[in-house]
């Protein structure tokens, strides 16, 4: 099945759900380019034709190799990383199709497609072969960073070859003692005669065996925390020798076809990328885009697992009828369908926000509107990562349950989907980090205006219908829980200090931090429900999906809200003890 044209819900979003007119004219600067589309209709036709062609290739070539890529895994021979043959064939096919850099500008070899189109491509590719998605992402991803922060010479030397698929890249941020704690990065960067030398180790680097690496290192001696970090470009080979050492790739039971490497730098040659000392600010852009990509990766896995479970349930007969007619199995399948649809609605609403913001920045639009979009995108980014990780785990695990004993057998793909989903809550910022990010933003937003403690920090777009009432109830549960977490943390005196704009110490936020995981769960369900409910009027199916999701989410949010409001501090007491 073509994963683009054969997915009715994705087709709905592409044809009806996405508001292309809100950003495509800005992306194309009024359709003024000779080598670009000349109207909105022509642009949409181009997007659809490209995704259809990509989907045909995925169905014909990529999907048949997915299981073999997983089984072969990554090996290490004669000091070199060896990637599965099928994986390299898949990438070569996309290279020949010219589909290595859809979202980059045409002048560097891209298609200038909006991120929303790239999201549809990534969803389809993740559904077909997650390992291929991961390698494919490390052509355009590093190229976008060099394009954003590099000099014209760096763009010419690195971006164009990456966009063409002639080179692959990596982004090296994590170190053995600096994973989520970016401020603990120790890799040293020393300037010598106009050149830079990097010394240190990086760990868990996806495609660390690539041809070029974007490296986060400490360029300012004596600096601490997030200050004094810079980005660098380091070639894999320099003067026909290794510029840094790629150690044996990690042996994983997840994403087996993706090379996860340790890198060792010993006075390795590098060149500064962007502003010296601006490394953390620059890497944040990549981190946020990578987190959206992980959510989209999860969406593809959800769709693959849901489709496999439906097909199996329809043909598996037990007790005289297909299990697709047994109540408990049907209940699981319908919940899987609603969760997948909610994630898709959240993904494409967030992708649209990103495209609208980029479009306004290109067109020099209203500063107030850009600020509004930037805040909405900032709020939803950790939610996409959280929901696309944690709920994908549930969907793929439930698919295994539907297949029963066959669900854990290699000949059936759902065990691979479940294994590959296990990495999602871990890399590119754990689910707990997403909770802390979300809490930090919501607390700052709430405490900046005292009345938000009473009226609620989060508002939703809800129609005046029973379904809209349910959506408002979800938002109300979150707002009450957030208010309780903040007031129980700060107390009366602390609240007055915070409302006066004075800095709040971390220890004063201990109870709220303890609740961060529950709060991000609640807010992710609110925003996913909001995005899903926005399409409820489109058809009876969309209304059914929205109603099911909201009705199932409401008692879940009430339970977590009750736990937050309980004031249980036993965990904090254990820490103190």
- pLDDT, tens only, 455-497: 899 999 999 999 999 999 999 999 999 999 999 999 888 888 8
Residue carrying the six token digits 């339970």: 559
What pLDDT sits at residue 326?
97
What pLDDT sits at residue 501?
77
- Total residue count of the chain as it appears in this document: 577
Number of CB atoms found within 10 A of residue 538's CB: 13
Say if 1-167 and 281-428 have the same CATH topology: no
pLDDT digit string (tens) for 176-203? Answer: 988 888 889 999 999 988 789 999 999 9
- Is the dihedral angle over the CA atoms 49, 114, 425, 73 positive or is it negative? positive
Per-chain mean pLDDT for the chain? 95
What pLDDT sits at residue 492?
84
**Between 325 and 504, whose confidence is greater?**
325
Chain center to CA of 152: 29
d(CA 382, CA 349) in angstroms, rounded, equals: 14
Neighbour-count burial of 530, counting CB atoms closer than 10 A to its CB (0-12 exposed, 13-18 middle, 19+ buried): buried
What pLDDT sits at residue 502?
81
d(CA 333, CA 316) in angstroms, rounded, equals: 14
Mean pLDDT in residue range 13-39: 94
d(CA 371, CA 482) in angstroms, rounded, equals: 23
What pLDDT sits at residue 252?
95
Q: What is the CATH number of domain 1-167?
A: 1.10.540.10
pLDDT digit string (tens) for 487-537? Answer: 999 988 888 888 777 888 888 899 999 999 999 999 999 999 999 999 999
What pLDDT sits at residue 179?
80
Mean pLDDT in residue range 328-333: 98
113: left (phi over 0), alpha (psi -120 to 50) or beta: beta
466-499 helix and 431-447 helix, angle to the nearest 10 degrees: 70
Pairing of strands 229-235, 237-238: unpaired
Mean pLDDT in residue range 39-59: 97
> For the chain, what is the largest distance between any 2 Cα atoms, rounded to a whole number of angstroms?
80
pLDDT digit string (tens) for 348-404? Answer: 999 999 999 999 988 887 899 999 999 999 999 999 999 999 999 999 999 999 999
Map 75-127 to HEC letters.
Answer: EEECCEEECCHHHHHHHHHHHHHCCCCCCCCHHHCCCCCCHHHHHHHHHHHHH
Does residue 75 contact residue 257 with C-beta atoms inside 8 Å?
no
The secondary structure of 489-538 as a DSSP string is: HHHHHHHHHHHTTPPPPGGGGHHHHHTHHHHHHHHHHHHHHHHHHTTGGG
Mean pLDDT in residue range 422-435: 96
What pLDDT sits at residue 503?
81
The secondary structure of 423-463 as a DSSP string is: TTTTTTS-HHHHHHHHHHHHHHHHHTSTTHHHH-S------
CATH of 169-277, one of 2.40.110.10, 3.40.50.10380, 1.10.540.10, 2.30.300.10: 2.40.110.10
C-alpha R_g of the chain: 24
Mean pLDDT in residue range 558-564: 98
d(CA 501, CA 112) in angstroms, rounded, equals: 43
- Closest residue by Cα to residue 377 from 301, 385, 517: 385
Q: What is the CATH number of domain 281-428?
A: 1.20.140.10
Q: What b-and-e string marks burial along 350-371, b requiring 16 or more CB atoms within 10 Å of the CB?
A: bbbbbbbbbbbeeeeeeeeeee
- What are the structural domain ranges in the chain? 1-167, 169-277, 281-428, 431-576
pLDDT digit string (tens) for 255-278? Answer: 999 999 999 999 999 999 999 999
d(CA 362, CA 544) in angstroms, rounded, equals: 39
What pLDDT sits at residue 11?
97
Up-side HSE of residue 206: CA atoms within 13 Å toward CB? 21
Does residue 389 contact residue 424 with C-beta atoms inside 8 Å?
yes
Distances (CA, A) of 337 to 188, 483, 541, 548, 575: 48, 33, 11, 10, 40
What pLDDT sits at residue 317?
94
d(CA 415, CA 425) in angstroms, rounded, equals: 17
């Amino acid at each position: 099945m073509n994963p683009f044209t054969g997915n009715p819900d994705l087709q709905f979003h592409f044809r009806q759900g996405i508001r292309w007119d809100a950003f495509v004219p800005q992306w194309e600067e009024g359709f003024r380019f000779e080598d670009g589309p000349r109207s909105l209709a022509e642009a949409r036709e181009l997007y659809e034709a490209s995704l259809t062609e990509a989907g045909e290739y995925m169905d014909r070539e990529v999907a048949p190799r997915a299981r073999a890529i997983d089984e072969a895994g990554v090996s290490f021979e004669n000091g070199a990383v060896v990637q599965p043959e099928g994986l390299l064939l898949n990438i070569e096919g996309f290279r020949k199709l010219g589909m290595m850099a859809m979202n980059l500008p045409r002048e560097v070899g891209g298609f200038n497609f909006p991120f929303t189109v790239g999201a549809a491509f990534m969803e389809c590719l993740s559904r077909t072969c997650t390992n291929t998605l991961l390698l494919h992402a490390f052509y355009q991803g590093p190229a976008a960073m060099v394009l954003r922060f590099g000099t014209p010479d760096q763009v010419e030397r690195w971006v164009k070859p990456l966009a063409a698929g002639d080179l692959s890249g990596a982004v090296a941020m994590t170190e053995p003692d600096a994973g989520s704690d970016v401020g603990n990065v120790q890799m040293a960067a020393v300037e010598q005669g106009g050149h830079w030398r990097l010394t240190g180790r990086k760990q868990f680097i996806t495609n660390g065996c690539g041809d070029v690496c974007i490296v986060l290192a400490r360029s300012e001696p004596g600096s601490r925390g997030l200050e004094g970090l810079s980005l660098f470009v380091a070639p894999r080979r320099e003067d026909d020798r290794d510029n840094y050492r790629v150690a044996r790739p990690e042996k994983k039971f997840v994403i087996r076809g993706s090379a996860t490497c340790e890198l060792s730098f010993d006075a390795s040659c590098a060149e500064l990328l962007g502003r010296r000392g601006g490394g953390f600010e620059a890497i944040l852009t990549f981190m946020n885009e990578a987190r959206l990509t992980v959510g989209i990766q999860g969406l593809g896995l959800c769709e693959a697992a849901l489709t496999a479970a439906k097909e199996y349930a329809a043909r598996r007969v037990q007790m005289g009828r297909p299990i697709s007619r047994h109540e408990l199995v049907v209940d699981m399948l319908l919940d899987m369908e609603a969760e997948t649809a909610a994630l898709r609605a959240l993904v494409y609403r967030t992708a649209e926000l990103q495209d609208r913001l980029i479009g306004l920045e290109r067109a020099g639009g209203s500063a107030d509107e850009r600020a509004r979009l930037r805040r909405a995108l900032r709020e939803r980014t950790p939610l996409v990562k959280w929901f696309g990780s944690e709920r994908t785990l549930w969907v793929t695990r439930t698919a295994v349950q539907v297949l029963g004993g066959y669900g854990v057998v290699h000949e059936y793909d759902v065990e691979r989907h479940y294994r590959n989903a296990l990495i999602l809550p871990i890399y590119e910022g754990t689910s707990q980090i997403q909770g802390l990010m979300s809490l930090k933003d919501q607390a700052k937003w709430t405490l900046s205006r005292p009345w938000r403690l009473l009226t609620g920090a989060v508002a939703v777009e809800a129609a005046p219908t029973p379904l809209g009432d349910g959506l408002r109830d979800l938002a109300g549960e979150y707002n009450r829980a957030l208010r309780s977490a903040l007031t129980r943390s700060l107390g009366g005196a602390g609240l007055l200090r915070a409302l006066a704009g004075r800095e709040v110490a971390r220890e004063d936020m201990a109870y709220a931090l303890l609740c961060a995981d529950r709060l991000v769960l609640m807010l992710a369900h609110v925003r996913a429900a909001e995005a899903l409910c926005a399409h409820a009027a489109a058809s009876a199916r969309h209304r059914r999906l929205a109603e099911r999701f909201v009705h199932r989410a409401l008692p879940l949010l009430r339970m977590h809200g009750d736990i937050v409001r309980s004031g249980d501090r036993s965990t904090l007491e254990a820490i103190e003890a």
